[in-house]
Amino acid sequence: MGQVLTLELESKAAAIRELLTEAVRRFGRVVYANSLGAEAMVLTDLISTDVPQIDIVSIDTGRLHEETYELLEKLQRRYGNRIRVVYPDAEELSGLVARQGINGFFHSPEARVACCNARKVVPFKRFVAGYSAWVTGVRREQSPARSLGSPVEWDDQHGLYKVSPLLDWTEEQVWSYIRTRKIPYNVLHDRQYPSIGCAPCTRAVQPGEDSRAGRWWWENPEARECGLHPRVRTAAVQS
Ligand code: SF4
């Protein structure tokens, strides 16, 4: 499917295959937490095609854009239902909404974190229990916090290794890979949404704004993480 990658991209893709294959050899059970963003299209393609030992999971928070669900369906068709979808605990979510309201996340940083915790972090932790490492699509360019990452590091927050194969990819390289391989992507990217999360907490960015400026835009930029990515780098692991 798609055309041949440039030599530069093929070399970068080969480095990812090598890193992920080594992660499977070293850590055993590895899971990719698929955010369904542009970076996720690259990793979904590489993992599904070349490192099928890695499981792929996406979290349906219940507040995603319709365009995101449409993308998920296209990916399920293209990659043969490789993506396992997990959900928040219904009781926990019901309690959260009873306490802070259906859109309570707008009212305070604590309420927002509580919502991300119930809808993303808890389902994620529940799913990754039993895995030794997880793969993320974070890139250094995306935020000051993410610029501190290492390709393989111990994730103290979740108690497993974290593998980030795309850290040094540029946005242009991500899109070049997607277009060359003709991979489906979220059509919201064509409407100035470089980073896409839940519908109420994501908006389009203005020209020149940081790529994550549309996520939780009402908060301090340093605090804009969903809880899956610790902001303080822990022990880096030699690969
Ligand atoms: S991004 Fe918004 S709606 Fe989604 S889990 Fe976090 S606070 Fe809740």
Kindly report the CATH number assigned to the domain that includes residue 116.
3.40.50.620
List the catalytic residues. Answer: 226
CA 65/CA 94 separation, integer angstroms: 21
pLDDT in tens, 138-154: 999 877 777 778 999 99
Q: What is the pLDDT of residue 146?
A: 77
Question: Does residue 235 fall inside a structural domain?
Answer: no
pLDDT in tens, 16-46: 999 999 999 999 999 999 999 999 999 999 9
pLDDT in tens, 58-101: 999 999 999 999 999 999 999 999 999 999 999 999 999 999 99
Q: Looking at the 3D structure of the chain, how many domains does it have?
A: 1
Question: Does residue 230 fall inside a structural domain?
Answer: no
> Of all residues in the chain, what percent carry a pLDDT higher than 90?
76
Question: Does residue 233 fall inside a structural domain?
Answer: no
Nearest ligand 1 atom to the CA of 202 is 1
Q: What is the pLDDT of residue 237?
A: 32
Question: Does residue 88 fall inside a structural domain?
Answer: yes
Distance 32 CA to ligand 1 centre (A): 20
Range of the domain at 173: 7-223
Distance 201 CA to ligand 1 centre (A): 6
Is residue 198 lining ligand 1, measured as CB closer than 6 Å? yes
Question: Does residue 55 fall inside a structural domain?
Answer: yes
Is residue 113 lining ligand 1, measured as CB closer than 6 Å? no
Q: Which residue puts its alpha carbon closest to atom 2 of ligand 1?
A: 201
Nearest ligand 1 atom to the CA of 112 is 7
